[in-house]
Amino acid sequence: MLIWFVVIYLIIAIGIGLYAATKVHNARDYVVAGRALPLYMVTATVFATWFGSETVLGTSATFLQEGLHGIVADPFGASLCLVFAGLFFARKLYRMNLLTIGDYYRLRYSRSVEVITSMAIVISYLGWVSAQITASGLVFSLISNNQISLHQGMLLGSAIVLVYTIFGGMWSIALHDFLQMNVILVGMLYIGYVISGDAGGLSHVVQHARQDGKFNFWPKADAADILGFLGAWVTMMLGSIPQQDVFQRIMSAKSETVAVQGSVLGGVMYFLFAFIPITLGYAATLIDPAMVQRLIGNHPQHILPELILHHTPIFAQIMFFGALLSSILSTASATLLAPSITFTENVIKPFIGQWGERHLLLVMRAVVVLFAAVVAWYALGTNNSIFNMVENAYKVTLVAAFVPLAAGLYWKRATNQGAVFAIVLGTSAWLWLEITRPDGIWPPQLFGLLMSLAGMLVGSLLPDVLPKPREQHVRG
């Protein structure tokens, strides 16, 4: 019954994608859904995109191992990212009526800054999409009782996401996310009620976790711990802001007020519901401690799915895996579309000239297929955990793209030279520490962020030594 439910659900997902294709008439429809989404759909697509496999499987497993201190990046940093994006970036960016976040870097600085930041954004998605593909392989393997291998499941998941993303674009994602948000909310609330009851009640689970030291959040009075805490926090809180998926949801809203409210509401909902799988994961230690002990070392991401499979009735299993598949598919589709559009619009398009809308859509869809193939290849070859793949994804945008974005919007003296210095210094400092001292007192990405800020200040205040760009600038 569980397998048949999954098959029916996937058929519905593909059907929605094909229906959404009827709404796509040009590149703007494909990328930002014609800037026509109401508040409930913007909120749904923000929430469903971020509530991915790392939230259900990765964060819950990390909490079991490290407590709240280990999940400062997600959900704490991740939810604050959406709130900050709504409050401080959405209104300014919405008024510019752009197609991609890369367009902003060209208009504010230069074509070269556009290409470099766009490539950084594209690269950053590799880990995030791969995490969703890995999770889809895990789900298909578990529900088929290993009749489908992990690698076969990953390829199957890649194909399914590709089919309904390639045709409908942002319209497909928006419609599907609205359905998926409801599945996630209902499924997570129901399974939380069932599992917490089996563990002796929610208050018992919380009390036990507190006594076990899992609620220790703040860093110790130690330089290394404080810097590590800050590094983990800013990685997703700031590094996720200059991302095409966040930008697309802002630009897809029917008004700037909806853009602000949808991002903030989505972030708040994400933070609240992220604690349901965290609670479920810890409840596993009370319901089946032997299973947790067996998996915690090498396969911590299996704990929650195996708990559901072996300790709940079939209806609860359907609700859980329905919510899990919803979270995976919504995030995978969004994170597959975003880098493909960025690469097409900001890297390829200037070289292909004035092509018509039909040909541009064809190129975008071809890039979606290409990126899906690269992601599947990367996911099959990596051994990183789902949580680490997602957390590491944002380091490159943190050191290369955040400072030029924020400074360009809020500091009128920010210049193209400052942006170039910020990118070069931030990226170089980050890579240098990642290679030479990855476990040193300074988290490489935090040091890179500080160097990026220094580069922006120095480069903007010094006389220009770089050739002035030809493009017309838009001041913050």
- The pLDDT value recorded for residue 355 is 66
∠ at Cα 210 (206, 213), nearest 5°?
145
Q: Residues 392-410: pLDDT tens digits?
A: 778 999 999 999 999 999 9
- The pLDDT value recorded for residue 167 is 67
- The pLDDT value recorded for residue 30 is 67
Residue 116 reports pLDDT greater than 60: yes
Residue 174 reports pLDDT greater than 80: no
**Which residues, other chains included, contact 8 with Cβ-Cβ below 8 Å and sequence gap of 6+?**
none
- What is the average pLDDT value for the chain, to the nearest integer? 87
Once rounded to an integer, what is the mean pLDDT over residues 190-194? 92
Residue 29 reports pLDDT greater than 70: no
Residue 438 reports pLDDT greater than 80: yes
With a pLDDT cut of 70, the percent of the chain lying above it is 91
In which band, very low, low, confident or very high, does the pLDDT at 105 lie, cut at 50, 70 and 90?
A: very high
Once rounded to an integer, what is the mean pLDDT over residues 227-253? 91
Once rounded to an integer, what is the mean pLDDT over residues 225-244? 93
- The pLDDT value recorded for residue 471 is 52
In which band, very low, low, confident or very high, does the pLDDT at 193 lie, cut at 50, 70 and 90?
A: very high
Residue 412 reports pLDDT greater than 80: yes
Once rounded to an integer, what is the mean pLDDT over residues 180-203? 89
- The pLDDT value recorded for residue 181 is 81
Phi, psi of 37 (to 5 degrees): -80, 135
253 bridge partner residues: 37
In which band, very low, low, confident or very high, does the pLDDT at 32 lie, cut at 50, 70 and 90?
A: low
Residue 254 reports pLDDT greater than 80: yes
Phi, psi of 432 (to 5 degrees): -60, -45
- The pLDDT value recorded for residue 146 is 83
Residue 240 reports pLDDT greater than 70: yes
In which band, very low, low, confident or very high, does the pLDDT at 381 lie, cut at 50, 70 and 90?
A: confident
- The pLDDT value recorded for residue 266 is 94
Residue 433 reports pLDDT greater than 90: yes
Residue 81 reports pLDDT greater than 70: yes
- The pLDDT value recorded for residue 158 is 87
CA dihedral 365, 371, 373, 378 (to 10 degrees): -170
| Ranges 212-216, 361-365, 413-417: which has the least confidence | 361-365
pTM: 0.88
- The pLDDT value recorded for residue 20 is 66
**DSSP state string for 260-275:** HHHHHHHHHHHHHHHH
Q: Residues 278-307: pLDDT tens digits?
A: 999 999 999 999 999 999 888 888 899 999
In which band, very low, low, confident or very high, does the pLDDT at 28 lie, cut at 50, 70 and 90?
A: low
Highest-scoring range by mean pLDDT, 222-226, 253-257, 355-359, 400-404: 400-404
Residue 23 reports pLDDT greater than 80: no
- The pLDDT value recorded for residue 470 is 63
Q: Residues 214-229: pLDDT tens digits?
A: 999 999 889 999 999 9
Residue 69 reports pLDDT greater than 80: yes
- HEC profile of 107-164: HHCCHHHHHHHHHHHHHHHHHHHHHHHHHHHHHHHHHCCCCCCHHHHHHHHHHHHHHH
Once rounded to an integer, what is the mean pLDDT over residues 415-444? 95
Alpha carbon distance 429, 450 (integer Å): 9
Residue 294 amino acid letter:
R
Question: Burial level of 467, CB count in 10 A (0-12/13-18/19+)?
Answer: exposed
- The pLDDT value recorded for residue 130 is 86
- The pLDDT value recorded for residue 15 is 77
- The pLDDT value recorded for residue 233 is 94
